[in-house]
């Protein structure tokens, strides 16, 4: 399964022919479904079916756009999508695969119904292949359509996460918002899309690894996390603040550069909407931090420092991902 995931993404990344890139997307989709259904239960199966139907619909639209573009232009090269209708259908299909609004409804439901490990792969690795296609065809995209998708994703992702109590759903709405940030800048400066994607993947992987290590899936369980593992709580707090875009953490860098580029290109209204939507995300990040650091669940155990005697052993990925997602702001470009 892991080899199939790696093969599908790699095939899409290195292809310059539409059919090969489409095959990579399909391999990627089919490879993660067995991971979603393990262990086998009704909730996992339901989420896998929802994911398959949405991805299959998007793949069908992508194939239609590929064939229509080839019929109109007589070429199958990935970098040249010169037909306006083909470009529009391709953008909408990639928005469905990435979970951009208004095609975002499947992301929280699927993420909530699958295990934490599968959810981590769904919200990180599965975003690479569609984003790479969006990056490669960016010169042909429609700016107005991209801004509409991006602004609606950031606003709906922020509002949707406000009343959630499940951490997987909150991270799913966070993914919708970050996909909007990446989409809005892909036509102006595609390199910032890649930068944002890498930082988002590092931060999201670190959060999922922390939650998986402590077996935490709900906000109310975070109130006892400090009692179990204080280092893990501090790590989670730093990563969430970085994901929310607070300086001097790494997550501030892509948001700062994206807003700067939008203002340079006179998209001031879009920049203001994105900045306001970031406050919505920061609110439910701060709520998670409040529950995990400033509250403590009532316990009969007199010892409030269990973590000092027995603390879960962190995996080797957590420190490295924490450094990447929180401490790279000094490396940001000055211009």
CA distance 86 to 31: 27
Residues 69 and 29 in one domain: yes
The domain tally of the chain equals 2
Kindly report the pTM of this predicted structure. 0.90
For 97-117, what is the mean pLDDT? 92
Residues 112 and 175 in one domain: no
**Any domain includes 307:** no
What is the model's pLDDT at position 274? 93
CA distance 152 to 180: 8
Residues 330 and 281 in one domain: yes
* C-alpha angle 66-186-81 in degrees, rounded to nearest 5: 25
Residues 59 and 184 in one domain: no
What is the model's pLDDT at position 296? 60
Residues 209 and 62 in one domain: no
* 3-state percent helix, strand, coil for the chain, nearest multiple of 5: 75, 0, 25
Residues 118 and 267 in one domain: no
Q: What is the pLDDT of residues 40-51, one digit of tens each?
A: 888 899 999 999
Confidence of residue 299 (pLDDT cuts 50, 70, 90): low
**pLDDT at residue 77 greater than cutoff 90:** no
| Nearest residue to 250 via CA among 171, 173, 324 | 324
What is the model's pLDDT at position 307? 44
**Any domain includes 305:** no
Containing structural domain, residue 14: 1-140
Confidence of residue 314 (pLDDT cuts 50, 70, 90): low
Residues 135 and 171 in one domain: no
Q: What is the pLDDT of residues 157-180, one digit of tens each?
A: 999 988 888 899 999 999 999 999
Q: What is the pLDDT of residues 121-131, one digit of tens each?
A: 999 999 999 99
Among residues 125, 140, 155, which one ends one of the domains?
A: 140
Query: Which is it for the CA torsion 257, 260, 264, 268, positive or negative?
Result: positive
What is the model's pLDDT at position 201? 93
**Any domain includes 209:** yes
**Any domain includes 120:** yes
With contact defined as beta carbons under 8 Å apart, do 186 and 163 qualify? no
Residues 273 and 293 in one domain: yes
For 252-258, what is the mean pLDDT? 91
CA distance 282 to 174: 10
Confidence of residue 309 (pLDDT cuts 50, 70, 90): very low
């Amino acid at each position: 399964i892991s080899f199939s995931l790696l093969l599908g993404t790699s095939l899409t990344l290195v292809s310059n022919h539409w059919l090969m890139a489409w095959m990579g997307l399909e391999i990627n989709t089919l490879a993660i479904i067995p991971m979603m259904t393990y262990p086998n239960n009704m909730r996992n199966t339901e989420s896998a079916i929802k994911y398959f139907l949405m991805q299959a619909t998007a793949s069908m639209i992508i194939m239609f756009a590929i064939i229509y573009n080839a019929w109109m232009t007589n070429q199958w090269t990935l970098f040249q999508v010169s037909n306006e209708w083909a470009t529009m259908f391709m953008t909408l299909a990639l928005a469905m695969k990435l979970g951009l609004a208004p095609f975002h409804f499947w992301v929280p439901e699927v993420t909530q119904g699958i295990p934490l490990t599968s959810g981590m792969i769904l919200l990180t690795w599965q975003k690479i292949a569609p984003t790479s296609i969006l990056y490669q065809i960016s010169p042909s995209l429609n700016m107005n359509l991209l801004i509409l998708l991006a602004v609606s994703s950031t606003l709906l992702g922020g509002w949707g996460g406000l009343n959630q109590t499940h951490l997987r759903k909150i991270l799913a709405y966070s993914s919708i918002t970050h996909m909007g940030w990446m989409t809005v800048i892909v036509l102006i400066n595609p390199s910032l899309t890649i930068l944002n994607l890498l930082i988002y993947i590092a931060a999201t992987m670190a959060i999922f690894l922390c939650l998986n290590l402590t077996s935490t899936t709900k906000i109310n369980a975070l109130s006892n996390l400090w009692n179990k593992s204080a280092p893990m709580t501090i790590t989670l707090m730093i990563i969430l603040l970085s994901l929310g875009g607070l300086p001097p953490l790494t997550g501030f860098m892509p948001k700062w550069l994206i807003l700067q580029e939008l203002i340079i290109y006179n998209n001031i209204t879009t920049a203001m909407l994105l900045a306001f939507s970031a406050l919505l995300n920061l609110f439910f990040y701060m709520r998670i931090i409040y529950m995990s650091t400033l509250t403590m669940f009532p316990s009969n155990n007199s010892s409030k420092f269990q973590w000092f005697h027995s603390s879960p052993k962190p995996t080797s990925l957590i420190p490295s991902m924490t450094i990447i997602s929180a401490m790279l702001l000094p490396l940001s470009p000055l211009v």
